[in-house]
Amino acid sequence: MDPTLNPYSPGAGLRPPDLAGREREIAEFAVLRQRVAHGLTSRGIVMSGLRGVGKTVLLNELAAQALRDGWIVGKVEADRGESRRVFREQVAGTLHRALREATGSFELGARLRRALGTFKAFSLRTDPTGGLAIGIEIDAERGRGDTGALETDLTDLALDLSAAAVDHGVGVALFVDELQDLSRAELGALCQACHEAGQVGAQFYLVGAGLPSLPGLLADARSYAERLFDYWSIGALVDQAATDALVRPARAGGVDWASAAAELLVHRSAGYPYFLQEFGKATWNFAPGPHITLADAETGVHVGMASLDRGFFTSRWERATPSERDYMRAMSVDGDSPSQSGEVARRLAKRISSVGPTRAGLIHKGLVYAPEHGVIAFTVPGMADFIARQPAE
Ligand SMILES: Nc1ncnc2c1ncn2[C@@H]1O[C@H](COP(=O)(O)OP(=O)(O)OP(=O)(O)O)[C@@H](O)[C@H]1O
Ligand SMILES: [Mg+2]
């Protein structure tokens, strides 16, 4: 069928035509925003899950909803690259945009002036050459947001921004994707800002997303973090939602899936959103139409799987050094289930301490993560099967 009308969107952060199976999360965030309108506080949100389960698209959806409600919304993606952008700079940049919008729609009362002054002080400390211009003349607020210690300055900013927002019945939300890539100090600073805001009833919320190691990293940064946030585990879609994700976008274009065809994709993707999109796209492009049959779906899964093997899995495999590949091969004995690090070392006939650097290298590359102490798992489903299909080296 016409590829220019193909409704599926395999990729990173590409909004699917139908954001299926996330109704509960969306409703919870709506409750949080309504509570803010009633002057009631809630906990911030931390979502975690494997690569490709749909954290980014959900985060973006929540951010869009907060924006529609008139919230002050910042959004950044934590950066772990070589030329790493400092988190403080990223926060200043995104809030700068948010505040320019707020000054357009909010009345410039005393609290907003103070918030702008604190923001200016915060950004001057980030970029001493002048800070970021808001578009109106505001003096930097002395002694607010300008100590240079991120936890203190972020707290000042959170308090003053939310004081300005509350005049308008809204809150302030900072959305951070790939949150696990922040340093321990940066995570601690975020926790502290949320903690202090919560204590005085300020409406400042972190909405973060990251890999399954994230809750542990936060708890390590601040021991109270486990009570500070609502933790959402984002996983594969249940069968009905996975079926909806396939069937609804096609039906909107007048195309029906035979139920056995949809069932096959749901089964072969195990409800994993990225694979659903990949298989859905391949099936659509192959199917002669006007509707999608079981035979089309069989070919679609086959073609989609080959495309994952060439791109998604191979790029991960090739990023690993030979010893890292050996390590992953030893893990793959356990399938997609987590492995005990000690057992993996035993399979390699090595001491745990001597494979430590290999394990750390794999974690750093984002290929594996430690769900708990002494345990190791792949960050994407299907990796173990892929490894089993690779010739021994
Ligand atoms: N609820 C959903 N229904 C249907 N498709 C979805 C859903 N959520 C995500 N997808 C699709 O799954 C793919 C992965 O989504 P996304 O990039 O948000 O995942 P992620 O969890 O952020 O991955 P990563 O950890 O690699 O950043 C995209 O192609 C997206 O369109
Ligand atoms: Mg993402």
Nearest Cα residue to atom 18 of ligand 1: 54
pLDDT at 235: 93
The more confidently predicted of residues 328 and 112 is: 328
Determine the angle formed by the axes of helices 184-199 and 150-166, rounding to 10 degrees: 40
* pLDDT digits 0-9 by tens, 126-152: 776 655 666 667 777 777 888 888 999
* pLDDT digits 0-9 by tens, 54-87: 999 999 999 999 999 999 999 999 987 667 778 9
pLDDT at 84: 74
Residue 39 has, within 13 A of its CA and on its CB side, a CA count of: 1
Nearest Cα residue to atom 15 of ligand 1: 54
Exposed / middle / buried, residue 164 (Cβ in 10 Å: 0-12, 13-18, 19+): buried
Atom of ligand 1 nearest to the CA of 16: 31
The least confident of 15-19, 251-255, 388-392 is 388-392
Phi-psi region of 28 (alpha: psi -120 to 50; beta: other; left: phi over 0): alpha
Query: Any idea which ligand is nearest the CA of 58?
Result: 1
Atom of ligand 1 nearest to the CA of 12: 17
- In which band, very low, low, confident or very high, does the pLDDT at 247 lie, cut at 50, 70 and 90? very high
Which of 51, 53, 269, 315 for mutating ligand 1's site (highest number of atoms within 8 Å of CB)? 53
Q: What residues have a C-beta under 5 A from ligand 2, the ion?
A: 56
Distance 236 CA to ligand 1 centre (A): 10
> What is the rounded average pLDDT of the residues 16-44?
95
CATH of 3-12+237-316, picked from 3.30.460, 1.10.260, 1.10.8, 1.10.3110, is 1.10.8
pLDDT at 357: 95
Distance 237 CA to ligand 1 centre (A): 11
pLDDT at 389: 87
pLDDT at 138: 76
Do 23-233 and 320-389 come out as alike in CATH topology? no
Q: Under a CB-based contact definition with an 8 Å cutoff, are residues 349 and 293 in contact?
A: no
Query: Any idea which ligand is nearest the CA of 274?
Result: 1
> What is the rounded average pLDDT of the residues 100-123?
83
Please list every protein residue whose CB sits less than 6 Å from any atom of ligand 1.
Answer: 9-14, 16, 19-22, 49, 51-57, 245, 273-274, 276-277
Tokens of 338: 């987590």
Nearest Cα residue to atom 23 of ligand 1: 52
CATH of 23-233, picked from 3.40.1030.10, 3.40.50.720, 2.40.50.140, 3.40.50.300, is 3.40.50.300
Q: Whose structure tokens read 């959402």?
A: 232
| Single-letter residue type at 183 | S
SS3 363: helix
Contacts of 16 (CB under 8 A, 6+ apart): 8, 9, 54, 57, 245, 249, 273, 277
> What is the rounded average pLDDT of the residues 277-291?
96
Distance 213 CA to ligand 1 centre (A): 18
The domains of the chain are located at 3-12+237-316, 23-233, 320-389
pLDDT at 110: 83
Distance 14 CA to ligand 1 centre (A): 7
Distance 11 CA to ligand 2 centre (A): 10
Distance 29 CA to ligand 1 centre (A): 19
pLDDT at 80: 77
**pLDDT exceeds 80 at position 367:** yes
The DSSP code sequence of 162-199 is HHHHHTTT--EEEEEESGGGS-HHHHHHHHHHHHHHHH
Which CATH topology does 320-389 take? Arc Repressor Mutant, subunit A (1.10.10)
Distance 321 CA to ligand 1 centre (A): 28
pTM of the model: 0.91
